[in-house]
A and B are shown apart, each in its own frame.
Chain A
């Protein structure tokens, strides 16, 4: 049972445009959400997070939106750059204070074209 789903395995966006990566979850008990970025042959790196008490968190070109009623999370990258080409994983956590209850999605491969 996949509790965190990224239904788009891949996405292609032109440089300078907006990239929108989506993530749906089924467990309403999740209360902390994170996005990780992964380049080939490297480990994921933390990108941005959001607590369930917020509906938006922004960090530079990256903004995460949370719609709790729809159990939907999205990551917006504006403007997209070629260096953003990577696999993006969303992850959801139960509030246990540790990552031991972190559930990852299957990832979306973003390709930013020139």
Chain B
């Protein structure tokens, strides 16, 4: 079964700690994305990667970092510099044939 796997589903961290969210895909998609969803807001793009070893900042990249060492994996690190890290984080990969995103089930991060 092809898809996007995000882990863990829920994550709790203390303020000041960095935390890494995992995203793995077996769809053989080149492009991968990280979005953040907050109540009452649309999905906002944090970072994206269109090819291995390359990534670009999205609209709200401050306080986040990513790596893309393998095609299948696109982990997101929420650093202590991110002022409001508590949110629902969604990873996606892109099907360029149909122009649609395939999303994982998300990670809800709570920082206290």
Chain B: CB-nearest residue to A46: B100
For B, the interface residue count at a CB cutoff of 8 angstroms equals 30
A97 touches which of B43, B44, B96 (Cβ 8 Å): B96
Say yes or no: A44 contacts B103, CB within 8 Å: yes
Does any Cβ of B come within 8 Å of A42's Cβ? Answer: yes
Q: Which residues of A contact B (CB under 8 A)?
A: 2, 4, 9, 32, 34, 36, 41-46, 49, 89, 93, 97-100, 102-107
Q: Is the CB of B50 within 8 A of A100?
A: yes
Q: Which residues of A contact B9 (CB under 8 A)?
A: 41
Cβ–Cβ contact A106 & B94, under 8 A: no
B99 at the interface (CB under 8 A from A): yes
Contact A106 B42, beta carbon cutoff 8 Å: yes
Most buried by B among A9, A43, A45: A43
CA of A55 to CA of B8, assembled, Å: 41
Enumerate chain B residues within 8 angstroms of A46, measured Cβ to Cβ.
Answer: 98, 100-102
Contact of B56 among A36, A100, A107 (CB under 8 A): A100
> For the complex, what is the distance from the CA of A9 to the CA of B96, rounded to whole Å?
30
Q: How far is the CB of B76 from chain A (nearest CB, A)?
A: 14
Question: Given A100-B45, A100-B50, A106-B41, is A41 in contact with B105 using a C-beta cutoff of 8 Å?
Answer: yes
> Is there an interface contact between B105 and A49, defined as CB atoms closer than 8 Å?
no
Docked-complex contact A49 and B100, CB < 8 angstroms? yes
What separation, in Å, do the CA atoms of A93 and B101 have in the docked complex?
12
Specify which of B50, B92, B96, B99 is in contact with A49 (CB 8 Å cutoff). B99
- Tell me whether A44 and B90 are in contact in the complex, defined as CB-CB below 8 angstroms, given that A97-B96, A98-B50, A105-B42 are known contacts: yes
With contacts A42-B105, A43-B92 taken as known, whether A32 is within 8 angstroms of B99 at the C-beta atoms is: yes
- Chain B nearest Cβ from A64, distance in angstroms: 13
Interface flags for B50-67 (1: CB within 8 Å of A; 0: not) read 100000101000000000
